[in-house]
Structure 1
Amino acid sequence: MVTAIPQDYRNRPVAVVGAGTLGRRIALMFATRGGQVNITDPNAEQGEQGVVYAMGELPAVAARVDGGTAGTVGYVRDQAEAVQDAWLVVEAVPEKLELKKQIFAQLEQDCPADAIISSNSSSYASRLFTEDLRTNDRMLNTHFYMPPAAITLDVMSDGHTAPEVIDFVLRTFPEYGLRPFHCRKESTGFIFNRIWAALKRESLEVVYAGVSVPEDVDAMFSMNFGTKAGPFRMMDQVGLDVVLDIEEHYAQENPQLPEGPRILLREYIADGKLGVKSGAGFYDDYPKPS
């Protein structure tokens, strides 16, 4: 059986489920070809903020995309309405497995039969929430990093994804200024995040063990690798609660991982230090949230 791939996709909307930090950025990228992108989120305020961000950034980002033309990003509160004619639906909700299972089950019912349904999950293989669904041959991971600054993404099968769907994604996403990389075997953390997890975890362990402090680790990292930010500054940007959720998931799969990194993260979170979004994390020089 040949799995249906989206027909007439340039004249159909993209839908993004979740208007958080990454959801709104994913929406931004798919609006660079002159089309419509629907953001859906039960939190109307967050949904509207996502639209404001995407539309504000869109003209400049579309100008950088080959053949780009600014489209439209809108907020649609009702998920079924947001996805009803979409050729692509990207789930970008918090890293909660049960939540993702619920959303994918509902999307299977509400999406057009030829729509691709993907997850932006940063740590869960989509197999974990698609394995009991009837049409999991059109479902997969498309894990984005931080567009538009980082245009790379991991593309990984859920174990049943049809090859023609993988090929379609790898061929089509570059039209929107993105650079997909095929993860050729199931891997917790995909490609880059698996490598980043090891760097992040050991950085946390060095500080937890009292060997160094975040500022010195970051300074050495930046000087040695020529980066603008080190691991602790980058974790602050992601959000320490998110980093902890991901580390907890890795630890469930591999109980041999050191506990020190998770203990250190919990200490900061208990003090209300979540990173940039709370005004303080490993660093305290961020604007205070209004």
Structure 2
Amino acid sequence: MKKLTKLLCAATLIGAALNASAWEPSGDVKVIVAYKAGSGTDTGARVLASMAEKYIGKTLIINNMPGADGKIGWTALVQAKGDGQTIGFINLPTFTTLATLPNAPFKTSDVIPVCNHLTETGVVAVKADSPYKTLKDLVDAAKKNPNIRASTNGVKASNHTAAQLLAASADFKYKAIPYGGTADQLLALRQNEVDFTCAKVADVAQLIKGDTPELRVLGVFSENRLEALPNVPTLGECGYYNKWYGSARGIVVPKGTPKEVVDFYVDAFKKTAEDPAVIEAHKKAGLELDFMDDKAFGNLISEQETFCKDVVTNLYK
């Protein structure tokens, strides 16, 4: 009996020691967002971060570092210490597009995936009072006028690529006008600086609602109509790009971050994503919560890198 008691005590002490040595953040966690406050990425990051604190046990502080189509923030992210005190959001395919450019300041291998947060479908939008009532109206006008203008969230950024996919598949030319991010490109459309834009469902969700909506969605980059926009045709229905295209937004840490740190965040964000209150908060915000663990998100990053090399690169030749 004494021997059994000693064994139980030893097991308890070992368990306590293991729990005591388990990694957790030592202070506030910096969360790098490579776009300005109020952007789609920023909005989603703040919803998730505020509710993840319950499972992380520390305050998550959003650090907006906009500029250069995301390069400023992501360069700072890959250069941060891999100590778990700095994490960040990346946007796909923009991150992988920039990473595959000649003389890129970072590579996909410079980050370690933690989890995917959102997956958002692309849309084509115009002002609510635009003369273009349908996607065909817009395409027909663009074929007659190659100077038609579209705002983007940066050169070769995700929404620029969406406009390129539309133009290439519909065989028209246009002028892409880059802005600092999605919030700015949508403001440009609302202020009549451009004729159309491509963004994500969540980006335009609040601008197409109510008695006096500001924008109108003409088409979605999806193989099937979206539940949120049942009356909006897919591009494929209209005879244009017939595959899904959009953006994934997920969390990564700098290369060199220990596995125990990565595992801590994977577990914490998984619990966050499964929390009913978190699920409801995302629904209210019009955000498509799509949790993937580090392995699945890593596979997605690899797939997007291939997509950028094989498809996106050809769009800009």
Instruction: Give TM class, smaller chain.
Output: 0.3 to 0.5
TM-score calculated relative to the size of structure 1: 0.34
TM-score calculated relative to the size of structure 2: 0.32
Higher RCO (CA-CA < 8 Å; seq separation 6+): 2
Is the radius of gyration larger for structure 1 or structure 2? 2
